[in-house]
């Protein structure tokens, strides 16, 4: 799994992972984050998600990072926005109104470039990454957002049924990545009707991550 894989997906328009409406879990559970309108929400590996449309409509500022230039240009076009495009080190920054998306490698994004973040929404970032990358992803995400509270959506299924992505990330792994810095609350678990792409049973789990005042011992 590398950058070329995702670039090819967007170039061929093979974007079955792109939901055709805002995510129901986001709409149902984002209020549990208790973030006031105007708060700055970060979406890692955001694509051109319609969740961004929804968050902007609720009055939030949205920051994101996405590998594909194609996805980001389509996002702004679908929102009817003309972005200002600037280069920041190894990244490009697309910005218009309350929306700012960085284009490039997630691991090249720094806290300084991103700026203050009030909350993180991870619908399909952690589960898009293979196991060897996920710990580094979680560590970097915590660092650049200063351990901001998080709404995280994961899939849990028998990984031997299919290779992924999306990958299976069960409760034990979520706790391994995040429990030291966050209090974890499972907000909902729901079976996917018909299983994951019709291949095997799967469960989606919604987690709320609230920063601890001190790391867990």
Q: What is the pLDDT of residue 14?
A: 58
Q: Name the helix (H) or strand (E) containing 119.
A: strand 119-122
> What per-residue confidence (pLDDT) applies to 12?
74
Task: Could you list the residues known to form a binding site for S-adenosyl-L-methionine, using ranges.
Answer: 10, 45, 66, 123
Question: Which residue in the block uniquely carries the two structure tokens 């920063």?
Answer: 211
Are 17 and 164 in contact, with CB atoms under 8 Å apart? no
Residue 135: strand, helix, or coil: helix
pLDDT at 26: 98
Distance separating alpha carbons of residues 72 and 47, to the nearest angstrom: 7
CB atoms under 10 Å from CB of 203, counted, come to 15
Q: Which residues are annotated as a binding site?
A: 10, 45, 66, 123
**pTM given for the model:** 0.94
Side-chain half-sphere CA neighbours of 146 within 13 A: 9
In the predicted structure, residue 44 carries a pLDDT above the cut 90: yes
Q: 206: closest CA among 182, 192, 191, 185? A: 185
**Going from the N-terminus, what domains does the chain have, and what CATH number goes with each?**
3-9+23-211 (3.40.50.150)
φ/ψ region of 5 (left if φ > 0, alpha if ψ in -120 to 50, else beta) reads alpha
Instruction: Label the pairing between strands 61-66 and 99-103.
Output: parallel
pLDDT band at residue 6, thresholds of 50, 70 and 90? low
Q: Strand, coil or helix: what is 22?
A: coil
Mean pLDDT on 188-206: 93
Q: Could you read off the pLDDT of 96-143 as tens digits, one per residue?
A: 999 999 999 999 999 999 999 999 999 999 999 999 999 999 999 999
pLDDT one-digit tens code per residue, 9-32: 766 765 556 567 999 999 999 999
pLDDT (0 to 100) of residue 121: 98
End-to-end Cα, the chain, rounded Å: 34
pLDDT in tens, 137-188: 999 999 999 999 999 999 999 999 988 899 999 999 999 999 999 999 999 9
Nearest-CA neighbor of 207 among 150, 155, 163, 156?
150
Report the distance separating Cα 143 and Cα 138, nearest Å: 9
40 bridge partner residues: 61
More confident residue, 31 or 3: 31
Contact 165, 175 (CB under 8 A): no
**How far apart are alpha carbons 195 and 168 in whole angstroms?**
13
């Amino acid at each position: 799994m590398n950058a070329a894989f995702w670039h090819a997906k967007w170039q061929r328009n093979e974007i079955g992972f792109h939901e055709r409406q805002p995510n129901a879990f986001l709409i149902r559970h984002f209020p549990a984050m208790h973030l006031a309108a105007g708060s700055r929400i970060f979406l890692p590996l955001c694509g051109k998600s319609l969740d961004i449309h929804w968050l902007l409509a609720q009055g939030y500022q949205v920051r994101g990072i996405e590998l594909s230039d194609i996805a980001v240009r389509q996002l702004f076009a679908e929102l009817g926005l003309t972005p200002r495009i600037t280069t920041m080190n190894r990244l490009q920054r697309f910005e218009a109104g309350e929306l700012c998306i960085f284009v490039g490698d997630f691991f090249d994004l720094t806290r300084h470039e991103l700026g203050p973040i009030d909350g993180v929404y991870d619908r399909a970032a952690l589960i898009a990454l293979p196991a060897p990358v996920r710990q580094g992803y979680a560590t970097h995400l915590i660092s650049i957002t200063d351990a901001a509270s998080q709404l995280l959506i994961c899939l849990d299924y028998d990984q031997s049924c299919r290779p992924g992505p999306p990958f299976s990330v069960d409760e034990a792994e979520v706790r391994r990545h995040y429990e030291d810095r966050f209090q974890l609350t499972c907000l909902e678990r729901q079976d996917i009707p018909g299983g994951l792409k019709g291949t095997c049973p799967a469960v989606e789990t919604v987690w709320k991550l609230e920063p601890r005042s001190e790391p867990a011992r």
